[in-house]
Amino acid sequence: MSRYLLGIDQGTTSSRAILVDHNGHVVDIEQQDFAQHYPQSGWVEHQPEDLWQSVLQCCSTLVRRHQLSAADLTGIGITNQRETTLLWDKDTGQPVYNAIVWQDRRTAEYCQQLAEDNPGLEARIQAKTGLLLDPYFCASKIHWVLENVKGARDRAAQGQLLFGTVETYLLWKLTGGKCHCTDASNASRTLLFDIHAQEWDEELLVLFNIPRTLLPEVHDNASDFGHTQSDLLGGPVPILAMAGDQQAALVGQGCFSPGMAKSTYGTGCFVMVNTGEQALYSQHRLLTTVAYRIEGKVTYALEGSIFMAGATIQWLRDGLNLIQQAGESEALAREVGTEHDVILVPAFTGLGAPYWDPDARGAILGLTRDTGIKEIVSAGLQSVCYQSKDLQKAMEADGVRPTDWRVDGGMVSNDWLMQFLADMLGANVRRSNVAETTALGAAYLAGLQAGVFTSLAHISQLWKEDKAFTPEISKADRDRLYRHWQEGVRRIQTRSD
């Protein structure tokens, strides 16, 4: 009798594998870091072999440590860093180029030129894909490889090459080249997928000059994706689920009803709110995306991101040397509280949603002779909450008010931060008792496909709260503090549209 689900989380800086039992409990985790490559300013690459080997080793280590046979594994769920783009030869498996990572900006000029040459294109792209015409997504990255790697365009035209985001590449490797498939959530991040029709879009393929033969088949998130090759994990193991990392976290956090949101506070912060069957269009440059597709039924989400969340605390630590460890920020902030006049606007790389001002730069405002380290650290933490409030307001303006904020990521161990977040949002903030919500979500989806879990409602019952934070300040105080932040933002904006 099989006993465990295996969740694979192939992330931007590390790969992880978790073992989950049939009660939905995490039994063990294995993690491995791998190298980042920065060949030029603004370029970020991973070596495909590093992604594959780190995943394989994490899985093998868990199998060895728990003395498992393939028959002990009910199935595998894969989640992944989204939008990172790979092309490889369909016969030899040889990658055509390194994986171009989501953060990579090499196609910025190309995207800008496309927008200038094609009036109305951005609106059409948003209507079809829910996304923006931006280098972040796969389409311009595929185009770059085809144009810049010698012979790639010809080989693609001959049907010799395959494209995939990381989950597709891993699946192809795990199945020994038998399965070239993706899932609806990852497909929805390529800029080539019509999220309403749920199919690759011919107009966009022509626009980016990408042959259709490159593209994987799109499955539901919980689906039969084939079996692992026998020699990898001691026998064939079924692969039963795939989902992009933020979508998998939404599942791991049990956010299955419209209005439920998960917010991940790591280096940056990603907020995703379930909008049910409705694909809401953003007027504030939030993204509309597929949350998950189960038994052919699509659930949509609205997504917003903050560039600088934990990264601000890293800067206070490594840039300014105000603290030795990120965790020290809590005690310092607690001493000084929220009622000081210092505002830290961490626009180190510009302002994201809803301001969208890439040329703005950061500032610390409201300094007086008695300002000290505590006030600046407190202001750094507060900036994460104010930016979350900005996203909440953008989401509200776009038609959805998140009811429940389920949080995860490295920053959420900071109770002071979580309390101020609840105060600022005027909503309950609930911390999950599992830190690894992303890998857990992938394992849950595999369990759903295997019938270990009977429904999403069943999975939602597995979610356990570690601690809830409820708003403690008055609306007047909230509004006053938030206005102060907005004034700070206005001082550094380079544009006001």
End-to-end CA distance of the chain: 60
Find the shortest distance in angstroms from Cβ 475 to ligand ADP: 27
Specify the stretch interacting with ligand ADP by CB under 6 A; choose among 209-217, 238-246, 326-334, 366-374: 326-334
Residue nearest to ligand ADP (CB): 410
Specify the stretch interacting with ligand ADP by CB under 6 A; choose among 108-116, 143-151, 220-228, 324-332: 324-332
Q: At 105, give phi and psi (nearest 5°).
A: -110, 15
Find the shortest distance in angstroms from Cβ 442 to ligand ADP: 16
Find the shortest distance in angstroms from Cβ 381 to ligand ADP: 7
* Candidate list 2, 229, 257, 413; residue touching ligand ADP; CB under 6 A: 413
Which of 200/270 has CB closer to ligand ADP? Answer: 270
Which of 321/368 has CB closer to ligand ADP? Answer: 321
Pairing state of beta strands 260-265 and 465-469?
unpaired
Binding mask 391-410 for ligand ADP (x = CB under 6 A): ------------------xx
* Candidate list 145, 204, 291, 311; residue touching ligand ADP; CB under 6 A: 311
Which of 30/398 has CB closer to ligand ADP? Answer: 30
Binding mask 3-22 for ligand ADP (x = CB under 6 A): ----------x---------
* Candidate list 29, 205, 326, 363; residue touching ligand ADP; CB under 6 A: 326
* Candidate list 129, 223, 267, 305; residue touching ligand ADP; CB under 6 A: 267
36 makes contact with ligand ADP (CB under 6 A): no
Which of 75/346 has CB closer to ligand ADP? Answer: 346
Q: At 194, give phi and psi (nearest 5°).
A: -80, 110
Find the shortest distance in angstroms from Cβ 243 to ligand ADP: 17
Specify the stretch interacting with ligand ADP by CB under 6 A; choose among 19-27, 112-120, 205-213, 323-331: 323-331
Specify the stretch interacting with ligand ADP by CB under 6 A; choose among 93-101, 103-111, 159-167, 321-329: 321-329
Between CA 126 and CA 304 the distance in angstroms is 15
Interface size with ligand ADP, residues (CB under 6 A): 17
Specify the stretch interacting with ligand ADP by CB under 6 A; choose among 149-157, 310-318, 390-398, 477-485: 310-318
Which of 413/493 has CB closer to ligand ADP? Answer: 413
Q: At 321, give phi and psi (nearest 5°).
A: 55, 35
* Candidate list 330, 393, 478, 486; residue touching ligand ADP; CB under 6 A: 330
* Candidate list 266, 276, 350, 366; residue touching ligand ADP; CB under 6 A: 266
Residues found near ligand ADP in the complex (CB under 6 A): 13, 266-267, 310-311, 313-314, 326-327, 329-330, 409-411, 413-414, 417
